A and B are shown apart, each in its own frame.
Chain A
């Protein structure tokens, strides 16, 4: 069975600082990987996704993520955080070829200090 671990429950960074949110997955074959963001009281918005090819993927709002097969990781990064990035971030994995279902991590809450 596939699983996702987000080891950081809560991260606090200062505005303008760089950000890295960790995600580790467990899956036997090539995974489909996603990052979603959830602002307070809202649904989830897709930030970026990885299926194959270039292991560094670009997303919306200036985010990027790097797939590292050897480490089973798909960490999310942003070079300079804005106050509006404060939200909860979810990593998810889907099964290649039949990814009707996504398995989500437990989320990382990001606080941005002025």
Chain B
């Protein structure tokens, strides 16, 4: 089975802190994604990557950056966390759309 693993299920950080969310997939997928999930808004794409060191902005990239140094790992970085970044963050990966997109368990981030 495809496995997408996010390093933390729950995180609490202070305003202004630099926050790293890590994601690892074990199926050699080309594509990796970071989504943010908020009630009533569904999932919104923050960034995605289709190859090592490649990244593209999604719908809501402001306040975030990403890093993909290895194919299996995709990191989301909050340079200076703010309270409006309190949310559920979901990492996902896919080889192509034909196989579907696979999600991690999510990281619930609270910024206080």
Q: Which of A44, A49, A51, A104 has the most CB of B within 10 A?
A: A44
Which of A12-20, A69-77, A78-86, A95-103 lies at the interface?
Answer: A95-103
Q: Mark B32-68, 1 if CB is under 8 A from A, else 0.
A: 0101000011111100101000000010000000000
Q: Contact residue range for chain A? A: 20 to 34
Contact of B94 with A by CB under 8 A: yes
Q: A45 contacts which of B35, B41, B44, B103 (Cβ < 8 Å)?
A: B103
Most buried by B among A46, A51, A101, A106: A101
Q: Tell me the bound Cα distance from A9 to B31 in angstroms.
A: 30
| Interface size band for B | 20 to 34
Question: Is there contact, CB below 8 Å, between A99 and B4?
Answer: no
B58 touches A105 (CB 8 A): no
Q: CB-nearest residue of chain B relative to A91?
A: B42
Q: Are B103 and A105 in contact (CB under 8 A)?
A: no
Residue A100 contacts which of B35, B94, B103 (CB distance < 8 angstroms)?
A: B94
**Chain B positions 57-108 with a Cβ under 8 Å from a chain A Cβ:** 58, 90, 92, 94, 96-98, 100-106
Task: Report yes or no: B42 in contact with A105, Cβ–Cβ below 8 A.
Answer: yes
Given contacts A90-B43, A94-B97, A105-B42, contact A100 B31 (CB under 8 A): yes
Question: Which among B43, B45, B102, B106 is the interface contact of A42 at CB below 8 angstroms?
Answer: B106
Known: A95-B97, A100-B50, A105-B42. 14 other contacts (CB 8 A): A32-B97, A36-B103, A41-B105, A42-B106, A43-B90, A43-B106, A51-B97, A100-B31, A100-B48, A101-B33, A104-B35, A104-B42, A104-B44, A106-B42
Residues of B within 8 A of A (CB): 4, 31, 33, 35, 40-45, 48, 50, 58, 90, 92, 94, 96-98, 100-106
Q: A residues near B, CB below 8 A? A: 9, 32, 34, 36, 41-46, 49, 51, 90, 94-95, 98-102, 104-107
